[in-house]
Amino acid sequence: MLGQVEYRDAKIWVEVASSAKKLQVQYNKKGNAAPSKIVTYNGHLGAEFNPVHLQIGGLDFNTTYQYKIIVDGKTVSSTNEFTTKDLWQWRKPAPDFSFLTGSCAYTNDFVFDRPGKPYGGDSSIFETMAKEKASFMLWLGDNWYTREVDYFSQWGLWYRAQHTRRQPVLQNFLKAMPHYAIWDDHDYGPNDIGKQYVLKETSKKIFDSYWVNPSSGEQGEGIYTSFSFGDVDFFLMDNRWWRSSDRTKDSINGQPNPEKQMFGSKQLQWLKNYLLHSHATFKIIATGSQVLNPLSTKDKLLFFPSEYYELTNFILANNIEGVLFLTGDRHHSEIIKVERPGTYPLYDITVSSLTAGVVPFVGPEANSRYRLLGIDKHNYGKLSFSGARGERKLTVEYFDTKGTKLGDWSIGEKELKSNK
């Protein structure tokens, strides 16, 4: 799998069998007759689970490279390629680009699944996504689903990640573009679990082993991180590590309960500082739980009102423009719009579900006045950024398993600016 690809370096993820003794990546510029270079992995091999990160440095920007994986002297993969980022700053307009996104990828494992109809749907969606021309994929949580037999087993948690990642239908997609990820409850631990999970450190180690994000939290806590592409900054949030029990009271004596947290004070402070630092046209805050949806009775940041108002009031008070939320979890996709008097509205772009069971819009949400677009089929999202400086536009498209467009929505950068 391709991990982060920057201007002058690239990260590649590989998992090898326990019998492997030596792992290398051989690479060269595409179309260049110069001899290939080789990077050798110098870490430990031989364990039952062997996810490995390889880094190639000293690359040229805006250049396509070819690479092969070599195990014990034998090439084990066909020629793959990646293209480093273009150095556009101070030189040319921000590049137009697209990325893919989605959440809730359930891989059936029938011995351990619930009896009856399989919960995992048509996984050929990943073959469709592999054919897309996109700069990267951002996984929005529930990227695999732990089962009851895994919840309190360190071995089981490792097995679940490996079982999902090794599926043949995923392989072309994993190599087709760089991949970034956040987690939600099902790839963190049991359903709806938070900071009390006794194997949270193991879950973090597995997450860090099976994904190749730029970083993973601070001082060994959480998996939050950030990266940039073009004129867009991405803030990948951790909605589980510090999360209070969902049953904690939202309010005390009519005031938001500061003890009920989703992100935690440390992470929230990090986000606020990064938002102040950012000069990006668009600022995408990605988290596994919905943020805004006023009518939802399910998981959302609004059920953690102290943090919700702290964040939204901070965005307002500091006149931070271009903010959008990107979320998963709900087993349907939608775009939620919430007005804010005197400034631009906030939007929650939800993309779900890739293969896990689909949930229709019911109850108060059935005819939500906040919803601009809704999809209740298996789907993935494609977000595209285009246009001249000062006229940049985001277009969100939803596609089904076969790649048929289900709906689209767009917004210009000027619509994400305050009236002040």
Euclidean distance between CA atoms 178 and 48, whole angstroms: 26
Q: Which of 35, 65, 87 is the last residue of a domain?
A: 87
Strands (DSSP E) found in 146-219: 179-182
The answer to whether residues 139 and 178 belong to one domain is yes
Number of domains in the chain: 2
Q: Which of 28, 61, 87 is the last residue of a domain?
A: 87
Answer for the pair 61, 85: CB distance below 8 angstroms, yes or no.
yes
CATH of the domain at 20: 2.60.40.10
Q: What are phi and psi of 98, to 5 degrees?
A: -130, 155
Q: Which of 98, 59, 53, 100 is nearest to 82 (CA)?
A: 59
The answer to whether residues 309 and 399 belong to one domain is yes
The answer to whether residues 78 and 92 belong to one domain is no
User: What's the maximum distance between 2 C-alpha atoms anywhere in the chain?
Assistant: 73
Q: Which whole-number Å values give the CA distances from 250 to 132, 254, 259, in the listed order?
A: 42, 9, 9
The answer to whether residues 79 and 214 belong to one domain is no
Euclidean distance between CA atoms 291 and 348, whole angstroms: 7
Q: Which of 65, 87, 109 is the last residue of a domain?
A: 87
Q: What are phi and psi of 322, to 5 degrees?
A: 80, 20
The answer to whether residues 22 and 113 belong to one domain is no
The answer to whether residues 57 and 95 belong to one domain is no
Tens of pLDDT along the chain (420 residues) come to 999 999 999 999 999 999 999 999 999 999 998 889 999 999 999 999 999 999 999 999 999 999 999 999 999 988 899 999 999 999 999 999 999 999 999 999 999 999 999 999 999 999 999 999 999 999 999 999 999 999 999 999 999 999 999 999 999 999 999 999 999 999 999 999 999 999 999 999 999 999 999 999 999 999 999 999 999 999 999 999 999 999 999 999 999 999 999 999 999 999 999 999 999 999 999 999 999 999 999 999 999 999 999 999 999 999 999 999 999 999 999 999 999 999 999 999 999 999 999 999 999 999 999 999 999 999 999 999 999 999 999 999 999 999 999 999 999 999 999 875
The answer to whether residues 104 and 210 belong to one domain is yes
Burial readout 202-241 (b: 16 or more C-beta within 10 A, e: otherwise)? bbbebbbbbbbbeebbeeebbbbbbbebbbbbbbbbbbbb
Q: Is the dihedral of CA 396, 397, 398, 403 positive or negative?
A: negative
Answer for the pair 288, 103: CB distance below 8 angstroms, yes or no.
yes
The answer to whether residues 345 and 214 belong to one domain is yes
- Rg, Å, the chain Cα set: 21
The answer to whether residues 26 and 151 belong to one domain is no
The answer to whether residues 113 and 234 belong to one domain is yes
Token couple for 273: 């500082």
Count of alpha carbons within 13 angstroms of residue 196, beta-carbon side:
10
The boundaries of the domain holding residue 80 are 1-87
- Write down the pLDDT at residue 420: 58
The answer to whether residues 287 and 399 belong to one domain is yes
CATH of the domain at 334: 3.60.21.70
The answer to whether residues 50 and 125 belong to one domain is no
Euclidean distance between CA atoms 73 and 21, whole angstroms: 10
